[in-house]
Amino acid sequence: MTSGLRRAVWTVVLVVASFLITALILRVSGYSVGDVFSGIIQGAITATGASTSSIRWAIPLLLIALGVVIGFRAGFFNIGGQGQFYMGACSALAISLGWREGPAGLVILCGTLAAMLAGVLWSLFPGWLRVRFGTDEVLTTLMMSFIGALVLQYLTAGPMRNPQGTGQTAASERIPEAFRLTGGSGVSLTVLLLVAGVTVLVWLVLERTRFGLTMTLVGRNATMARWQGINVRRVGLGAFALSGALAGLAGAVELYGPAARLVTGFSPEVGFTAVVVALVGLLNVWGTVVAAIFFGGLQAAILFLPIVTDLPPPALVLLHGMVAFLVTIKFRAVRRRRAAQTEAPAG
Amino acid sequence: MEQILATTLRSAAPLVLVAMAGVFAFRAGIFHLGLEGLMIAGAFTTVAVGDTTGSVELGVLAAIGVCLLLSALYWWVIGPLGANVIIAGLGLTSIGLGGTAYALGAIFDVRGSLFTDVVLPRPVRDVTSGAGVIIAEHSIFVWITPLIVLAAWVVLRRSRFGLRLAAVGEYPFAARSAGVNPSMVRLQAILIAGALCALGGAELSVGALRNFTENMTNGRGFIAFVAVIFGAWHPIGAAFAGLFFGFADAIGIQSQINITERVPREFVLMIPFVLTIFAVWLGGLWRRRSLEAEAGYAELREPDF
C-alpha cells in the first residue's frame, strides 16, 4: 500500500473506533444503538430533504476546515475558526442591514468581502502576535473565539436586535429576501458553485503554487525554510490571513444562505468540528471535502433524531470529542508497540 | 470592596486549583488543553454522585476517580499511542463538555442545570458586616487551596519526584540516561493534574454554587492554563496569576450589578479573555529569556500528524 492510502485506511479505522466507543456509551446509558443508527441514516440521507440538509451543514464545515488545513500545513494551530466565522457573519449582516435599498448583487458582494476581511482581521491579530513575538497561537486564537462569540451576543442583543422579536434568545432582524442566495434549505446552485470554486482554488494554491509549497516547507521545518531564504513571517501571516478569510466567507454564506438573520450563539460547535474535519481529511483538500460531507451528514442527522429517539443532542459533541481524541494516534506507534510485545512477551 | 475581595477568593479558588494541575502537566512537558474537560467532568460527577448518594464526600471521591480515569486515557493516547498532545487535549475537553451535557439529559432527563442540596462544608459562616465578609461563606476547598499551592511548590522543588519531573520536562533524553522513565513520570504528573482538576470542578459546582450547569466552566480551564504561563509555570506565580484572574472576574461580576446601564454586559465578560491574550503575549516574551524552557516547550508542539 502507498503511504497515502495507508494513512487514509488508518484514519478510517480510528474514526470507526471513535464511533464504536460512543455507541457503547449510548448503549450503556440506555439508548438503542440500532434506533440511533437508523435515525442517523434517515436524517442524513434517506428522509425527505435529508441529503440537502447534510450538504447545508457540510458547507460551513468545509470552508472553515479548508482554512484549518492551510494553517496546519504552515505549522500553525489556528483553532479560532469559530470567532472568525462569527465576525464574518456579523460584518455581512451589518452591510446588508445598513444598505437595504442597495442592488442585491452589489450588497452581497460587499457583504461577502467585508465578511472575509473581518475573518482575516480576527485571525491576523493572533497570527501577527505569533510571527512577531512568538506568542502561542493555540491560546490566542481560542480566546479570540470566545471574544467573537461575545461580540455576536452583544450585537444580536443590542444594536442589531430585532425590535419586533419575541422569545428569549436574542436575534437580529432578517436581511431582505432579495439578498438571499438560497431558500431555507441553504443549498442552491449559486452556493454550490461558489463553494466548489473556492475548494478548487484552495487546492490550486496549496498544491500548484509557489506560495503553497513554501507554506508546506515552513510547516515541516521553519528553521530550514528560513535558511533557504523563505520569509517565514510573511508566509505565516499569509496562512493566517487565508484561513481567516475562509472562515469569514463561511459566515457570509451562512447569512446569505440558510440563516437570513443571526441568532446569538448559532452553530456553536462548527469551529471545533472543522478542526476535526480537517484532521480526518488528513489535511488534504479532497479528503477534507469527504470528511466535511460526512460530518455535515451527522449534524443534519442529530437535528432529525428527536423525531426517532429522545437522544440528547450533546451526544454529537461527545462524538466529535472522541474522534479528536483518537484521530491523531500514530499507526507507527501502535505497530511498534505490538512488535515490541511479541518480541519480548515477558517485558 | 469587601464583597469584591470575597468574590475574588471564590472565583480564584477553582482557577488556582486547575492552574496547579496545569503546572504539574507543564513541568512534565505536556501542553495540557484537556484541563477544561476534566474540570467540567469533576463538576458534574460531584453533583451527580453527591446528589444521588446524599454525600458530598462520595461525590468528590467519585469526581477524582473519573478524572483519574480520563487522565490515564489521555496519557495512554498521547504517550504510548503517539497522538498529538494539543488535538487530543481539545478532544478531551469536548468529551468533557459534550459528555456531561449528554449525561445530564440521559441520566437525569434535564436540559440546562441540575440543582442539588449537597454542598461542601463552609467553615466560617454568618458574618454580615466588616472585614469578616471577605473570609465568610467560603467552602473548605477555598481554605485548603493555599495549602495545595504550598504542597505543590514543596513537591516540585524539594522532592525526588519534582526533580525527576523537571528533568523529564526540560530534557527527556538526559532523564532517560539517568535511569528515569519519562513516560511513567508523565503519567504521574497527568494523574496529579486530573485529581486537582476534579477538586477545581467540585469547588465550582458545590463549593461556590449548588448546581451543575451545562458548559459551566465557560473557558475557566483555558484561563487556568494561561495562569500557568503567566506565572512562569511556578506554583506560587501561577497561584497569584489565578488570583489576579479571579479579581478580574470579581470586578466583572460586580460591575454587572452596578454599571450595566452604561457598559454592555458582554464587554465586561470579555475582560478575562482580553487579559488572557495579553498574558499569553507577555508570558511569551518572558519565556524567550529562558532558553532551556524554550527547548522543553518547543518539543511538545511539533505539528506532526
Q: Does A72 touch chain B (CB under 8 A)?
A: yes
Distance CA A5, CA B122 (A): 59
CA B152 to chain A, closest CA, distance in angstroms equals 24
Distance between start and end Cα atoms, chain B: 51
Query: How does A12-37 read in b/e, with b if 16+ C-beta sit within 10 Å?
Result: eebbeebeebbbebbeeeebeeeebe
Q: Does B79 touch chain A (CB under 8 A)?
A: no
Q: Burial of A169 by CB count in 10 Å (0-12 exposed, 13-18 middle, 19+ buried)?
A: exposed
**Residues A158, B81: C-beta atoms closer than 8 Å:** no
Residue A174 DSSP class: P
What residues have CB less than 8 Å from A204, skipping those under 6 apart?
Answer: none
Lookup: cell for A11? 484514519
Q: Does B108 touch chain A (CB under 8 A)?
A: no
**Residues A333, B80: C-beta atoms closer than 8 Å:** yes
Distance CA B124, CA B40 (A): 27
Q: Does B76 touch chain A (CB under 8 A)?
A: no
Distance CA A263, CA A265 (A): 6
Distance CA B110, CA A90 (A): 32
Task: Going from the first residue of chain A to its last (347 residues), give the mean pLDDT of each consecutive group of 10, the final group possibly shorter.
Answer: 83 95 93 90 90 95 97 90 97 94 93 97 95 86 93 89 75 90 88 96 95 90 86 93 97 94 90 94 94 95 85 91 92 68 46
Residues of A in contact with B90 (CB under 8 A): 79, 272, 275, 324
Backbone angles phi, psi at A273, to 5 degrees: -60, -35
In the block, which residue shows the cell 457598559? B263
Give pLDDT tens digits along chain B (305 positions).
788 898 899 999 999 999 999 999 988 888 899 999 999 999 999 999 999 999 999 999 999 999 999 999 999 999 889 888 889 999 999 999 999 999 999 999 888 899 998 889 888 877 777 777 788 889 999 999 999 999 999 999 999 999 999 888 877 788 888 888 888 999 999 999 999 999 999 999 999 889 999 999 988 998 898 888 878 789 999 999 999 888 888 877 776 666 555 677 788 778 778 887 888 888 777 655 443 333 334 444 443 33
Q: Where are the alpha helices (DSSP H) in A181-330?
A: 189-208, 210-220, 222-227, 232-254, 270-280, 285-304, 315-327
Residues of A in contact with B79 (CB under 8 A): none
Distance CA A195, CA B3 (A): 53
pLDDT at A225: 86
Distance CA A323, CA A291 (A): 12
Q: Does A27 touch chain B (CB under 8 A)?
A: no
Q: Which of B118, B141, B138, B143 is nearest to B49 (CA)?
A: B118
Q: Does B276 touch chain A (CB under 8 A)?
A: yes
Q: Does B252 touch chain A (CB under 8 A)?
A: no
What residues have CB less than 8 Å from A153, skipping those under 6 apart?
Answer: A170, A264, A265, B266
Size of interface A-B (CB pairs under 8 A): 165
- Across the interface, of A30, A135, A330, the residue whose CB is closest to B106 is A30
Return the C-alpha torsion angle A299, A304, A309, A311, nearest 10: 30
pLDDT at B262: 63
Q: Does A140 touch chain B (CB under 8 A)?
A: yes
Q: Does A307 touch chain B (CB under 8 A)?
A: no
Lookup: cell for A193? 458553485
Lookup: cell for A300? 443534519
Q: Does A167 touch chain B (CB under 8 A)?
A: no
pLDDT at B169: 82
- Give the nearest chain A residue to B270 (CA atoms): A147
pLDDT at A204: 97
In the block, which residue shows the cell 473556492? A198
Distance CA B47, CA B59 (A): 7
pLDDT at B290: 42
Cβ–Cβ under 8 Å, residues B276 and A161: no
Residues of B in contact with A170 (CB under 8 A): none
Cβ–Cβ under 8 Å, residues A70 and A283: no
**Letter for the amino acid at A19?**
F
pLDDT at B256: 64
pLDDT at A206: 95
Distance CA A174, CA A151 (A): 18
pLDDT at A249: 97
- Across the interface, of A25, A325, A327, the residue whose CB is closest to B92 is A325
CA B43 to chain A, closest CA, distance in angstroms equals 17
Q: Does B305 touch chain A (CB under 8 A)?
A: yes
Q: Does A335 touch chain B (CB under 8 A)?
A: no
DSSP for B172-241, written as a single string = HHHHHHTT--HHHHHHHHHHHHHHHHHHHHHIIIIIS-SEEETTTTTTHHHHHHHHHHHTTT-HHHHHHH
Q: Does A170 touch chain B (CB under 8 A)?
A: no
- Give the nearest chain A residue to B99 (CA atoms): A318
Q: Does A77 touch chain B (CB under 8 A)?
A: yes
- Across the interface, of B80, B90, B305, the residue whose CB is closest to A324 is B90
Q: Which of B204, B282, B174, B227 is nearest to B26 (CA)?
A: B227
- Among B33, B183, B228, B305, most A C-beta atoms within 10 A, so best to mutate, is B305
pTM: 0.90
Q: Does B103 touch chain A (CB under 8 A)?
A: yes
Residues of A in contact with B32 (CB under 8 A): none
Does residue B127 come out as left (phi exceeding 0), alpha (psi in the -120 to 50 range) or beta?
Answer: beta
Number of H helices, E strands in chain A: 14, 0
- Across the interface, of A129, A139, A279, the residue whose CB is closest to B87 is A279
- Among B266, B276, B288, B291, most A C-beta atoms within 10 A, so best to mutate, is B266
What residues have CB less than 8 Å from A187, skipping those under 6 apart?
Answer: A52, A55, A56, A59, A257
**Residues B88, A77: C-beta atoms closer than 8 Å:** no
Query: How does A256-267 read in b/e, with b if 16+ C-beta sit within 10 Å?
Result: bbbbbbbebebb
A297 to each of A51, A54, A58, A257, how far by Cα in Å?
7, 4, 7, 18
